[in-house]
């Protein structure tokens, strides 16, 4: 792969092989959302339901509807040795990170503590900047334990004394008790803390792609605004549905997205359809990702 930080690029391939083609210290911001090692297949099926006299289900006022399966996206999320899989990729991420760069690693409760210890070894404990908690509210409710309704995002920097963090560019959020801070502060809002409340991508949202682990644009917008500058290159080597690329493009950054799952590349190509200047490596969107009907 020819590396060009000024060209938006999507690569189908093994991310470790691709990372080895990236020059040292060339990436200002890396965000990754690797598999969480849930021990199961991650899948999502897209359905279309239309009113039909011979439908297979009954809805409001006794009307009948027919359901058609449009697509199914899936990948295995099972690793015999998760850390052995992730370690060389994180070591490469450290190598390609720029001198003022930042790495965000998005995980959940299953592996985050093990990965943090490993990242402390790769970066040094002094380069640990934050653990962000992304809280949401959806899915099942266990009656045998506290329901797990958050993800963990570990943030490491190449230099604890010289890294990009643009407070002025970050979106502000409402105060929980605006009456206590005065009208001027309440109108301006406050800077987010390390606990982010953000809903998942709603089922009926135009943002939704159908990819099983799609993350909200709002999360990536905030990360990119805070930890990069306009014109910077943002790398995501577990790119999935391409949310990092979408947030980077609208924020005036370039992106390098990598995934080994052909279904992910197909989703990205459809999501980016009509965008000028996107380069695909190892994948032809005209063949593999025709426009959705």
Domain residue ranges in the chain: 8-44+67-288
pLDDT for the residue 37: 66
Question: What would the mean pLDDT of 9-19 be, rounded to a whole number?
Answer: 97
pLDDT for the residue 224: 98
Question: What would the mean pLDDT of 189-209 be, rounded to a whole number?
Answer: 90
Condensed to tens digits (0 to 9), the pLDDT of residues 265-293 reads 999 999 999 999 999 999 999 888 765 54
Question: What would the mean pLDDT of 61-67 be, rounded to a whole number?
Answer: 58
Highest mean pLDDT: which range of 53-67, 176-190, 202-216, 244-258: 244-258
Dihedral-angle region of residue 42 (phi above 0 means left; psi in -120 to 50 means alpha; beta otherwise) = beta
pLDDT for the residue 54: 67
Question: What would the mean pLDDT of 33-56 be, rounded to a whole number?
Answer: 60
pLDDT for the residue 84: 92
What is the b/e burial string over 231-253, where b = at least 16 CB atoms within 10 angstroms of the residue's CB? ebbbbbbbbbbbbbbbbbbebeb
pLDDT for the residue 91: 98
- Asked if 199 and 136 count as a contact pair (C-beta separation under 8 A), the reply is yes
Which run of H or E residues covers position 27? strand 27-32
| Banded model confidence at residue 55, pLDDT cuts 50, 70, 90 | low
Q: Does domain 8-44+67-288 have CATH number 3.40.50.2300?
A: no
Q: Are strands 27-32 and 195-197 parallel, antiparallel or unpaired?
A: unpaired
Q: Is pLDDT at 59 greater than 60 in this prediction?
A: no
């Amino acid at each position: 792969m020819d590396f060009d930080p000024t060209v938006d690029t999507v690569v189908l391939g093994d991310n470790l092989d691709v990372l080895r083609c990236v020059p040292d210290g060339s990436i200002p911001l890396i965000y990754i959302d690797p598999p969480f090692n849930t021990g199961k297949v991650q899948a999502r099926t897209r359905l279309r339901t239309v009113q039909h006299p011979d439908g297979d289900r009954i809805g409001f006022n006794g009307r009948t509807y027919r359901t058609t399966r449009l697509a199914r996206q899936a990948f295995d999320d099972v690793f015999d040795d998760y850390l052995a899989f992730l370690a060389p990729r994180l070591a490469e991420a450290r190598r390609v990170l720029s001198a003022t760069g930042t790495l965000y690693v998005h995980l959940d409760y299953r592996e985050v503590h093990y990965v943090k210890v490993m990242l402390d070894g790769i970066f040094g404990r002094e380069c640990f900047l934050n653990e962000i908690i992304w809280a949401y509210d959806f899915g099942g409710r266990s009656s045998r334990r506290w329901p797990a309704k958050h993800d963990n995002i570990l943030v490491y920097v190449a230099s604890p004394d010289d890294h990009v963090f643009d407070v002025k560019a970050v979106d502000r959020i409402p105060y929980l008790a605006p009456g206590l801070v005065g009208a001027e502060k309440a109108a301006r809002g406050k800077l987010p803390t390390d606990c982010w409340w953000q809903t998942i991508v709603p089922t009926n949202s135009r943002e939704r792609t159908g990819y099983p682990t799609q993350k909200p644009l709002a999360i990536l917008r905030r990360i990119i605004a805070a930890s990069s500058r306009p014109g910077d290159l943002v790398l995501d080597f577990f790119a999935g549905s391409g949310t990092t690329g979408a947030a980077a493009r609208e924020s005036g950054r370039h992106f390098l997205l990598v995934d080994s799952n052909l279904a992910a590349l197909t989703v990205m190509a459809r999501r980016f359809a009509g965008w000028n200047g996107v380069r695909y490596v190892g994948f032809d969107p005209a063949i593999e990702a025709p426009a959705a009907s």
